[in-house]
Amino acid sequence: MNPTLAAIPGSLIRALNAQKRPGDIDLGLGEPLLRPDVAWFEAATEWVREFGCPYSANAGMLELRTKLATHFAYPGLDRPENVCVTVGSQEALYLAIKALCDPATDEVLIVSPCYPAYPKLCQLEGVAHREVLLDPERGFEPDADRVLAAIGPQTRLVLLASPANPTGRVWPRAELEKLAAGLGEVAVLVDEVYRELDYSDQAPFSIATVHPHTFVANSLSKSHALTGLRLGWLMGPAEPMQAVVKAHQFVNTAASTFSQRVALAALDAPSHRAHYMAQRARLLQLLDAAGLAYVAPDGAFYCMLRIGGDSVKAAFALLEQERVVTIPGVAFGAEGWLRISWVAPEEALAEGIGRIARFLQC
């Protein structure tokens, strides 16, 4: 057994899910319940009828890479050479860490609370990491000064997500500009998997627009309810992307050709943002009516509830006593909080929030 792998603790989220019983209310799930449009799959099937299902180029189909590069049109990242099509954004994150960081010298600075895979992916690669926690007293507000102050001499990569999982916070343009201005040569790996699910009235702004050393991981998993498609991409400056493609080719050869055809059809379709905006409004009403302390999400489909105590104990007790699945904040680096996901149907969400309030008030 690889000792590096053996040393990585198992997933808390999985442990909680293992205790879930039929009929429990699941506010833990980080996956859309909406259905994707089957027309995208029909278009892919038509393509297969004509061309079969061959391997694509290692970096992905030229047609898809060109479409992705022009769709986002990030300056300097707008050519097919800037794109590697991956197995979900998860592989994109992994490849970026693997290809860009020298385990002997480099460190990844992770902006936290964060998606639990970030530190685990660093551990898997034997790359050192540190976390910089955004201020819980200010609702985990994105704060460039705080991140810049945490950068050390070994920091090669700053890893952040906007909108973020678990907080739902979106990095405003001014903070990203300030961060970019202070970073110099330090690269950014930005996880934009919730980019389309941004409920602010400003157009989504990417640090890729202002920082030339930016790598962007993304997919259609959340925006178009395509988690099982396992199709994502990494974008970055052309030269280091060659190393990314090299790693990708040895592990996967290429992403699924069928999935790439589905993505080509889905990319132009509107995201599910409107659905989640309506659901968010309902969520805020329910939380206010229940008198819970929370951070209002600007994006994604999660919400952090302040509980003050041991979050693992609280999540297991909630499941046992009230039969509601939530995720302990400590899984994301934020003790004293619980994350709920609000993809659940409205009645389940209302019932679940009522039960959480009852549990916390006991």
Ligand X SMILES: Cc1ncc(COP(=O)(O)O)c(C=O)c1O
The vertex-283 CA angle with 282 and 285, nearest 5°, equals: 65
Name residue, tokens 């939530």. 326
Out of 106, 107, 143, 191, name the contact with ligand X by CB under 6 A.
191
d(CA 303, CA 173): 22
d(CA 226, CA 342): 17
Closest approach, Cβ 191 to ligand X, in A, equals 5
Amino acid at 118: Y
Q: Is position 163 an interface residue for ligand X (rule: CB under 6 A)?
A: no
**Identity of the residue, 272 or 355, whose beta carbon is nearer to ligand X in the bound complex:** 272
**Identity of the residue, 159 or 353, whose beta carbon is nearer to ligand X in the bound complex:** 159
List the 294-295 sheet strands across, edge first: 294-295, 302-306, 337-341, 327-328
Closest approach, Cβ 49 to ligand X, in A, equals 27
Amino acid at 344: A
**Identity of the residue, 222 or 355, whose beta carbon is nearer to ligand X in the bound complex:** 222
| Near ligand X in 96-155, by CB under 6 A | 115
Q: Is position 219 an interface residue for ligand X (rule: CB under 6 A)?
A: yes
Q: Is position 30 an interface residue for ligand X (rule: CB under 6 A)?
A: yes
Please give the C-alpha separations between residue 196 and each of 72, 154, 162, 298, 304, in angstroms, as whole numbers. 12, 33, 10, 12, 20
Q: Which among 36-44, 86-94, 142-150, 311-319 is the span making contact with ligand X, rule CB under 6 A?
A: 86-94
Closest approach, Cβ 321 to ligand X, in A, equals 27
Closest approach, Cβ 300 to ligand X, in A, equals 8
d(CA 320, CA 289): 24
Out of 56, 82, 112, 165, name the contact with ligand X by CB under 6 A.
165
Residues that bind ligand X (CB under 6 A): 30, 88-90, 115, 161, 165, 191, 193, 219, 221, 227, 232
